[in-house]
């Protein structure tokens, strides 16, 4: 029974009318927006779901907000730090000398703090990305190098 509860819970999260990509109101299938279109007015990402996914799975919040490269980077860093911390715990348990035990304890404690910090950053990033999911990205500031009677730098804003 316990093994069936997690898949059932994930099924409920992803198939509910207020599931990912919708503002919480039930809509008919014809009225639902295309969840792949970022420019859709009704496409909304829940910040709390983004934080939840980021807390449960390294990079999960970034995947939910469709920032795949950032998900790969943050997920890799967070998983690597957690793995290194677990390796230090294993080495600490295998150590025989008290000085060696203390050294591995300090390393694993430091690695766990770094893992928690990257995890908190990942959750905050997912939260902000979910809030800014519908933000219009047309107006960008670009820097272009253009000759202006010698050497110069031009800052342009495209509207």
Greater pLDDT, 129 or 2: 129
Q: How confident is the model at residue 87 (pLDDT cuts 50, 70, 90)?
A: very high
How many percent of the chain have pLDDT more than 90?
43
How many percent of the chain have pLDDT more than 70?
58
Does the structure show a pLDDT above 50 at 130?
A: yes
Q: How confident is the model at residue 86 (pLDDT cuts 50, 70, 90)?
A: very high
Average pLDDT, the chain: 74
Specify the pLDDT at position 67. 87
Specify the pLDDT at position 45. 86
- The radius of gyration computed from the CA coordinates of the chain, to the nearest angstrom, equals 23
Q: How confident is the model at residue 123 (pLDDT cuts 50, 70, 90)?
A: very high
Beta-ladder partners of 144: 154
């Amino acid at each position: 029974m316990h093994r069936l509860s997690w898949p059932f819970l994930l099924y409920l999260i992803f198939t509910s009318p207020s599931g990912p990509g919708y503002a919480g109101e039930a809509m008919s299938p014809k009225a639902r927006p295309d969840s792949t279109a970022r420019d859709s007015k009704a496409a909304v990402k829940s910040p709390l779901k983004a934080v939840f996914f980021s807390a449960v799975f390294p990079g999960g919040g970034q995947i939910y907000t469709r920032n795949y490269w950032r998900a790969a980077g943050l997920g890799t860093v967070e998983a690597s730090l957690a793995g290194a911390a677990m390796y230090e715990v294993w080495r600490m348990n295998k150590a025989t000398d008290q000085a060696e035990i203390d050294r591995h304890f300090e390393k694993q404690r430091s690695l766990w703090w770094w893992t928690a910090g990257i995890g908190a950053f990942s959750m905050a990033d997912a939260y902000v990305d979910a809030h800014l999911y519908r933000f219009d990205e047309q107006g960008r500031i670009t820097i272009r190098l253009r000759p202006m009677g010698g050497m110069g730098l031009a800052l342009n804003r495209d509207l």
